[in-house]
A and B are shown apart, each in its own frame.
Chain A
Amino acid sequence: KQEVTQIPAALSVPEGENLVLNCSFTDSAIYNLQWFRQDPGKGLTSLLLIQSSQREQTSGRLNASLDKSSGRSTLYIAASQPGDSATYLCAVRRISGTYKYIFGTGTRLKVLA
């Protein structure tokens, strides 16, 4: 059974710091992995999608990496800003024929001005 873990559950950093968020999964047979951002009381916003054949994806100040063999993905945020404060979730889609995604519980990030 696929399980997805995000540690730490919460993180506070000063503005301008580079930071790394972690996502671990127990079954390496994944189809893809997706990172999301969620603001309080809002829906999820897709940040980056990494297919199983890819090692990383970049969008602006964000870089996501994928290491299937170790069951890990990291989301790197460069030069953090107060506007980056949100909960970040990762989700994996299993390699089987279904289109189900398994979500982690998220990391709540606060960037202090």
Chain B
Amino acid sequence: DGGITQSPKYLFRKEGQNVTLSCEQNLNHDAMYWYRQDPGQGLRLIYYSQIVNDFQKGDIAEGYSVSREKKESFPLTVTSAQKNPTAFYLCASSSLSSGGWVSYNEQFFGPGTRLTVL
């Protein structure tokens, strides 16, 4: 059953604590993304990765870190430097191939992780 999984579904963080959100995909996609969603706002890009061991900052990378050691995994760490981390976090992936029958660059999303600061 192909898709993107995120864990945990709900996460609570204490002040000054680092937390890591998991994202795994078995779609064999090259690119993976992390977005943050706040009420009434669109999705904002935190980090993205087009290939293993490489990633780029998005529009709101401050206070976050990522790694891409395996093609199928792209964990996001919310550090204590992120002053307002309460939000809904979404992971996505897409193929980078072009042409043929593949809907290239179509993004697929995981179910999300809701992070709350206590």
Contact = CB atoms under 8 A, between A and B. Distances in A.
Q: Is B one of A's binding partners?
A: yes
Contact of A42 (B31, B41, B56, B112): B112
B48 interface: yes
Contacts of B96: 99
Q: Name A's interface SS.
A: strand
B109 A43 contact: yes
A91 B94 CA distance: 14
B21 to A, nearest CB: 13
A105 interface: yes
A41 B10 CA distance: 11
B24 to A, nearest CB: 14
B42 interface: yes
A46 B42 contact: no
B111 A42 contact: yes
A98 B92 CA distance: 15
Nearest to A4: B42
B17 interface: no
A44 B94 CA distance: 13
Contacts of B58: 100
Contacts of A93: 105
A93 B6 CA distance: 24
B1 interface: no
Contacts of B108: 46
Contacts of A91: 43, 107
Contact of A100 (B40, B45, B110, B114): B45
B90 A43 contact: yes
B36 to A, nearest CB: 11
Interface in A7-46: 31-32, 34, 36, 41-46
Contacts of B35: 103
Interface of A: 4, 31-32, 34, 36, 41-46, 49, 89, 91, 93, 98-101, 103-106
Interface of B: 4, 6, 31, 33, 35, 40-45, 48, 50, 56, 58, 88, 90, 92, 94, 96, 103, 105-112, 114
Given A44-B92, A89-B42, 9 more contacts: A36-B109, A43-B90, A44-B90, A46-B109, A91-B43, A99-B94, A101-B45, A103-B42, A105-B42
